[in-house]
């Protein structure tokens, strides 16, 4: 079995993170009344946004690295590996630089909430002001859970955040032997 096709640590986002970091004014307008200090965005609102936009509940961000000749084969390998997952869809962006040139952040890469292009960016800092002057509370745990155990943990954590009146911004970074659960 081949390994190491995806060479960076993929990040897996839940619907709240997807909606919050989208650049869609209509999505932000639906969330606006809940983004004041105090309330959280109800999951029925997030579900309505998800259905309207045609998004899944989860989105995974990752990068494939290689020469322009290798990338189509790497892409095909990833698509084949995920083909058994019901409803999976891929959205690809290629950052290849110009002929004979390295990838340039200014020329080739636009803002990303989490950079998987290996080009440093301060764009993610804007999310700190997503609720005006009140920044997010964050917790990060390192775990070696299986996918099933991680999902069970997510469901428990999600319910606890709902019960406490908080939003669950889930951002799981997947490594070969552990998962870093960035949640706020």
Q: Mean pLDDT, to the nearest integer, of 41-45? A: 92
Angstrom distances, CA of residue 173 to CA of 59, 145, 170: 12, 12, 10
Whole-prediction pTM value?
Answer: 0.70
Q: What is the pLDDT of residues 90-107, one digit of tens each?
A: 888 777 766 777 766 666
Instruction: Tell me if 64 sits within 8 A of 56, measured CB to CB.
Output: no
CA-based nearest residue to 117, from 132, 102, 130, 129: 102
- Per-residue pLDDT tens for 108-162? 665 655 555 555 566 666 666 666 655 555 555 666 667 788 888 888 888 888 8
pLDDT for the residue numbered 121: 61
């Amino acid at each position: 079995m081949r390994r190491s096709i995806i060479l960076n640590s993929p990040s897996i986002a839940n619907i709240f993170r997807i909606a919050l970091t989208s650049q869609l004014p209509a999505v932000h307008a639906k969330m606006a009344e809940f983004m004041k200090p105090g309330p959280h965005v109800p999951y029925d609102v997030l579900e309505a946004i998800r259905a309207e936009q045609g998004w899944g509940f989860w989105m995974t961000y990752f990068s494939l690295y290689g020469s322009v000749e290798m990338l189509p084969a790497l892409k095909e390998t990833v698509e084949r590996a995920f083909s058994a997952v019901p409803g999976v869809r891929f959205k690809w962006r290629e950052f290849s630089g110009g002929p004979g040139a390295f990838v340039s952040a200014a020329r080739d890469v636009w803002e990303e909430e989490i950079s998987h292009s290996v080009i440093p960016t301060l764009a993610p800092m804007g999310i700190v002001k997503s609720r005006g002057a009140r920044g997010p509370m964050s917790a990060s745990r390192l775990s070696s859970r299986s996918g099933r155990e991680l999902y069970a943990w997510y469901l428990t954590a999600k319910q606890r955040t709902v019960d406490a009146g908080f939003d669950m911004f889930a951002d799981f970074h997947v490594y070969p032997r552990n998962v870093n659960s960035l949640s706020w």
